[in-house]
Structure 1
Amino acid sequence: MSASTVPERNDEVDRIVDAWNRERPDLDFAPLQVLSRVARLARQVDRARRAAFTRSNLEPWEFDVLAALRRAGTPYRLSPKALLAQTLVSSGTMTNRIDRLVERRLVERQGDPSDGRGILVQMTGSGLNTVDAAITRLVDAEADLLGGLSSGEQARLATLLRKLSLDLDHAGEQPA
């Protein structure tokens, strides 16, 4: 490790790993150096996201549905099946979520013009304003979390995390 990459100070993970190294020098704790930090950071990111959504009067699941509709582009509508694929919840859960968003007037159900029996979920103007405010708050909060890293460091970290994510996704697809 070069002098420029040596951490300036130790964090809690360093203290934990040092203690394990003392107690179990026979094990390689390198994975803990990475994944314990990822787990701790995930908790901090979750708190920041929840705070951003709370300021927009949204639950995280509400943001997920509205964000999927927003990313679909004008006219901001998708079938419930498409929403299921993007939010990875069960059909019953999605029906309940759509019902609750309809009650809040953030989305509305419409008949599907290409399928007389189908429905589409369309975001309302209120839903659009709400999700746009929420994503702005989210991006600002996450930028604050990454404020200690340069743009180059952020790009390198994103590349490494993408590689790890793709590797883990691919490993999960392998037959047991």
Structure 2
Amino acid sequence: MKSDRAAYAVSQWKDEFPNDDFLAMELLGRLLEISQIVSQQHLQPLFASFGLHPGEFDVLATLRRAGSPYQLTPTQLFGAAMISSGGMTNRIDRLEKAGWVMRLPHPTDRRGTLVQLTDTGLTLINQILPVHLATEQSLIAGLSKDKQMALNELLQQLVAQLPESKA
């Protein structure tokens, strides 16, 4: 069995502060560790095998799930990705240089642009998606379907009750 770094850290804290409640620290520590393991050991290598960084996959996936004609404004992409507008510009620049997206003039806003998947970009995201889904499914396969659904519901409730960021 894998070592449980969150439990180990909390056991050390409890030795030092036996009257304090460390459940939140342990729970959030596990969520962070899961996120790091999934990202670094599973998703980043998967995306790299297709010549992408994770953020670039996010842009392609966001455009793809928007439906035909697979285009959004940079602001819509920026909102979906939760990164800085400069970071989004860099991602779009790299994807455009690779031929996976193109910038188009916005039809109703002379100052605006649309970012659209190219045929090559559409083919790429359509190739990656089944592999990505299979990877994610394999990562949670150790839990029964009922436990997966229960965990999903609990995490949904946790996200819903979190305070909005002031930043």
TM > 0.5 between the two? yes
TM-score by length of 2: 0.87
Range 145-154 or range 49-58, more displaced: 49-58
Runs of 4+ in 1 over 4 A off after TM superposition: none
**How many residues align structurally?**
165
CA shift for structure 1 position 97:
2.2
Match of 1:16 among 9, 15, 18: 9
Match of 1:109 among 103, 109, 123: 103
Give me the whole-angstrom Cα distance separating, in 1, the residues matched to 2:29 and 2:64: 34
Q: Does 1:45 align with 2:38?
A: yes
Give me the whole-angstrom Cα distance separating, in 1, the residues matched to 2:114 and 2:2: 53
Q: Which has the larger radius of gyration?
A: 1
Give me the whole-angstrom Cα distance separating, in 1, the residues matched to 2:117 and 2:3: 47
* Counterpart residue type for residue 66 of structure 1: L
**Distance change (3 Å), C-alpha of 1:18 and 1:57:** same
Residue aligning to 2:164: 172
TM-score by length of 1: 0.83
Give me the whole-angstrom Cα distance separating, in 2, the residues matched to 1:15 and 1:149: 23
**Distance change (3 Å), C-alpha of 1:58 and 1:164:** same
* Counterpart residue type for residue 164 of structure 2: G
Give me the whole-angstrom Cα distance separating, in 2, the residues matched to 1:35 and 1:97: 30
Once the two structures are superposed, residues 73-118 of structure 1 have per-residue CA deviations (whole angstroms, 9 ceiling, x without a partner) of: 0110111221122122333333332222111000112222333443
Q: Which has the bigger relative contact order, CA under 8 A and spacing at least 6?
A: 1
- Same amino acid, percent of matched pairs: 38
SS in 1 for 2:164: helix
Give me the whole-angstrom Cα distance separating, in 2, the residues matched to 1:116 and 1:23: 63
Give me the whole-angstrom Cα distance separating, in 1, the residues matched to 2:136 and 2:160: 22
* Counterpart residue type for residue 119 of structure 1: T
For structure 2, list consecutive stretches of 5 or more residues without a partner in the other structure.
none
Q: Is the 8 A contact 1:110 1:122 kept in 2?
A: yes
For structure 1, list consecutive stretches of 5 or more residues without a partner in the other structure.
1-7
